[in-house]
Chains A and B, each alone.
Chain A
Amino acid sequence: MSSDPRKFLSHNGMDRRDFLVQGSGLVSAALLAACDSRGPKSAGKLLKYAERKNLVVERKLFRHTSMDVVQAGAHDAGNKLPSYFIAPSVPVWDESARGKWALEVSGLVANPVRLTLEDLLKLPQVSNRVNHYCVEGWTAVETWTGVPFTELARLVRVDPQAQFVDFQSFDDDYHESWDIESAMHKQTVVAYGLDGKMLEPAHGAPARVYSPIKLGYKNTKYLTKIVFMPKMNGGYWSDQGYEWYGGT
């Protein structure tokens, strides 16, 4: 710009003051505008990028050997466990209209099966007293009884191509797909019992997937199908903007 260094300096000196005054004005305006907002729309791409990168980190942090541990002295949530579903009223399987409930386990498997509740009860059973981690930030201790997911996977003989698992339900179109390693975690069960009783409709009867390795919204209730897939298949909340991984 200017060849006279002194002119440049004084010009620069003026600028610094202007810069500070205008800069602080801009920053406070941005802060005010940002309050209770979703942030600039242009950041959407950056946030998506961060989520994709975080997904890689999170899958690396996952360990089959890391187990959820309930803290000594923690109380069971009991009837304080919130009931939650997306249908307008508690989804109940209507046998007269839809026939006997059965869980279909299919997709990339050698031996797809349909399992009634009686069939599930005959399979190896496990009871896990574990934490429930809700995306909202609360936790609840409960005992979930059911079939370890690994037993179901063994039963249907999963194709090595299957990298994801979709858990589908009869609670409208609610479903959530998982990475296969989280599904194969030792504490993942297809649960039909809660706190020593058969699961009630309020908490996902006849059966739901339950694992402390995933946040609550990933644990589909009112199961109808478990489908092994080569690709991820989104999910009810994942498609609305919550993280797809939702892992703990």
Chain B
Amino acid sequence: MVGSGLRIFNAYPAFARKGEMFCCYPFEHEAIPAWLTFGGWLGGARHWHFAMMWVLVVNGLVYLTFIYLHGEWRDLVPRKGDIRDSWQMVKFYTFKRKDHPHQGKHNALQKTTYFLLPAFGALAVVTGIAIWKPVSLAPLTAVFGGYVWARYWHFIAMLAIVILSVAHVFMVFAVDPYSITSMITGNYDPSLSPEARNARPFYHLFPRRAIATRSSSTETT
């Protein structure tokens, strides 16, 4: 979706209406590097985009239905103090704080990310519909400030999804590779949690003996 979208964008890599300027995009008329694009040409990229959009929508609906039925949406909805706690995580990762803030299932920064990702996903879908059918669904397009702005928000949503996804995958490998097991099996070993390891990106990747024994001894007593 991203690659074909960028190929479509490259047909007119700007947001301005003809005869106008656009305020809020610093790279007007600068094409996206071809190696980041997919589809080969405008028509081909459009076919991919309009076919795969259904996969994205179905995937999103299955995800939302699943976390709703399992009640796991409760782990993701923003709550009071999330921003404060996320800031504490940022401070910890930048060495301004010594001990890992409370991890739980997701730490505050993760929780914010996992809430924002589907939210931006939904924004991408709805703004996508708005620029797909700007006349037939004119009221929807108007919600986003008209076609030009809806196209802009579509781009921003894509950018947010890419940034959050890349950050997420990076952090999985740099901070908590053990979580890959729990993603697949559902099992979780608390002695390996980032909090137990006091893990920052590339710091304390391996469980420290002292902590590991301490947590296992507390379990046995």
Contact = CB atoms under 8 A, between A and B. Distances in A.
A77 interface: yes
**Most chain B beta-carbon neighbours within 10 Å: one of A63, A67, A138:** A138
Interface residues of B, number: 40
Interface string A189-225: 0000000000000000000000011000000000000
A39 to B, nearest CB: 6
A104 interface: no
B193 to A, nearest CB: 22
Interface in B42-61: 42-44, 46-48, 50-51, 54
A136 B42 contact: yes
Nearest to B149: A71
A127 interface: no
Contacts of B12: 134, 136-138
B136 A139 contact: no
Given A50-B51, A67-B135, A242-B46, A36 B17 contact: no
A54 interface: yes
Nearest to B52: A50
Contacts of A131: 134, 147
A141 B147 CA distance: 12
B151 interface: yes
Contacts of B11: 135-137
Contacts of B137: 61, 66
B144 to A, nearest CB: 11
B19 A36 contact: no
Given A35-B35, A66-B135, A243 B50 contact: yes
B17 A137 contact: no
Contacts of B134: 68, 131, 133, 248
A37 B38 contact: yes
Contacts of B151: 137
Interface string A121-139: 0000000000111111111
A54 B50 contact: yes
B133 interface: yes
Interface in A76-94: 76-78, 80-82
Given A51-B47, A240-B43, A243-B50, A77 B18 contact: yes
Nearest to A72: B146
Contacts of A68: 134-135, 138
B45 to A, nearest CB: 9
Contacts of A75: 17, 19-20
B148 interface: yes
B38 A140 contact: no
B3 interface: yes
A139 B17 contact: yes
Given A36-B38, A39-B38, A137-B151, A213 B17 contact: no
- For B17, B34, B138, B145, the residue with the greatest tally of chain A CB atoms inside 10 Å of its CB is B17
21 contacts: A34-B38, A38-B41, A39-B38, A61-B137, A66-B138, A67-B138, A71-B145, A75-B17, A81-B18, A131-B134, A133-B134, A135-B46, A136-B11, A138-B14, A140-B17, A140-B18, A141-B17, A141-B18, A241-B47, A243-B47, A248-B135
Given A34-B3, A43-B48, A61-B137, 11 more contacts: A37-B40, A71-B147, A74-B17, A75-B20, A76-B19, A77-B18, A78-B19, A81-B19, A131-B147, A137-B12, A141-B18
